[in-house]
Amino acid sequence: MSNCHIHREAIDAVKNFSLPQELPFGKTIAPVMVKVHYNKGEWSKSELLPYSPLTLDPTCKVLHYAQEIFEGMKAYRVEGQGPLLFRPEENLQRFNMSARRMAMPEVPEEIFMGAVEAIVGACAPIIPRRSGESLYIRPFMFASENGLGIKPAEHFIFLVVASPSGAYFSGGSVQVQIEREAIRACPDGVGFAKTGGNYAASLLSMIEAKKQGYDQVLWLDALHKRDVEELSGMNFFAVYNNRLVTPKLTSTILNGITRKSLIQLARHQGFQVDEETISIDQIIADIQSGKITEAFACGTAVIITPISHLGEKDGTRYALPQAVGEVSMKLRNALLDLQEGRAQDTFEWVKKVAPLA
Q: How far apart are CA 163 and CA 324, in angstroms?
A: 27
Q: How far apart are CA 91 and CA 70, in angstroms?
A: 10
- Residue 1 confidence (pLDDT) above 60: no
- Residue 342 confidence (pLDDT) above 80: yes
Instruction: Give the pLDDT of residue 169.
Output: 74
Query: What pLDDT, in 10s, does the model give residues 10-63?
Result: 999 999 999 999 999 999 999 999 999 999 999 999 999 999 999 999 999 999
- Residue 140 confidence (pLDDT) above 80: yes
**Range with the poorest average pLDDT among 81-85, 231-235, 257-261:** 81-85
Q: Mean pLDDT over residues 162-184, rounded?
A: 91
Instruction: Give the pLDDT of residue 168.
Output: 84
- Residue 79 confidence (pLDDT) above 90: no
Q: Nearest-5° angle of CA 246, CA 346, CA 138?
A: 60
Q: Judging by DSSP bridges, how do beta strands 317-319 and 134-143 pair with one another?
A: unpaired
Helices first, then strands: H and E counts in the chain? 8, 19
Instruction: Categorize the per-residue pLDDT at 239 as very low, low, confident or very high, splitting at 50, 70 and 90.
Output: very high
Residue 211 phi, psi dihedral angles, 5° rounding? -60, -30
Helix (H, G, I), strand (E, B) or coil at 274: strand
- Residue 171 confidence (pLDDT) above 90: no
- Residue 80 confidence (pLDDT) above 90: no
Q: Do the Cβ atoms of 24 and 112 come closer than 8 Å? A: no
Q: Mean pLDDT over residues 183-206, rounded?
A: 96
- Residue 357 confidence (pLDDT) above 80: no
Helix (H, G, I), strand (E, B) or coil at 197: helix
> What length does the chain have?
357
Helical segments of the chain, H only = 8-15, 61-65, 88-101, 109-122, 196-211, 257-268, 280-289, 326-339
Q: Mean pLDDT over residues 105-117, rounded?
A: 98
Q: Mean pLDDT over residues 217-233, rounded?
A: 97
pTM, two decimals, is 0.95
- Residue 351 confidence (pLDDT) above 70: yes
Q: Do the Cβ atoms of 144 and 153 come closer than 8 Å? A: yes
Instruction: Give the pLDDT of residue 2.
Output: 60
Helical segments of 123-236, H only = 196-211
Instruction: Categorize the per-residue pLDDT at 103 as very low, low, confident or very high, splitting at 50, 70 and 90.
Output: very high
Return the H-helix or E-strand segment holding 103: none
Domains and CATH numbers, the chain: 4-166 (3.30.470.10), 174-324 (3.20.10.10)
- Residue 167 confidence (pLDDT) above 90: no
Instruction: Give the pLDDT of residue 143.
Output: 99
The mean pLDDT value of the chain amounts to 96
Four-residue CA torsion sign, 68, 49, 108, 161: negative
Query: What pLDDT, in 10s, does the model give residues 268-321?
Result: 999 999 999 999 999 999 999 999 999 999 999 999 999 999 999 999 999 999
Q: Judging by DSSP bridges, how do beta strands 272-275 and 243-246 pair with one another?
A: parallel
- Residue 129 confidence (pLDDT) above 90: no
- Residue 89 confidence (pLDDT) above 90: yes
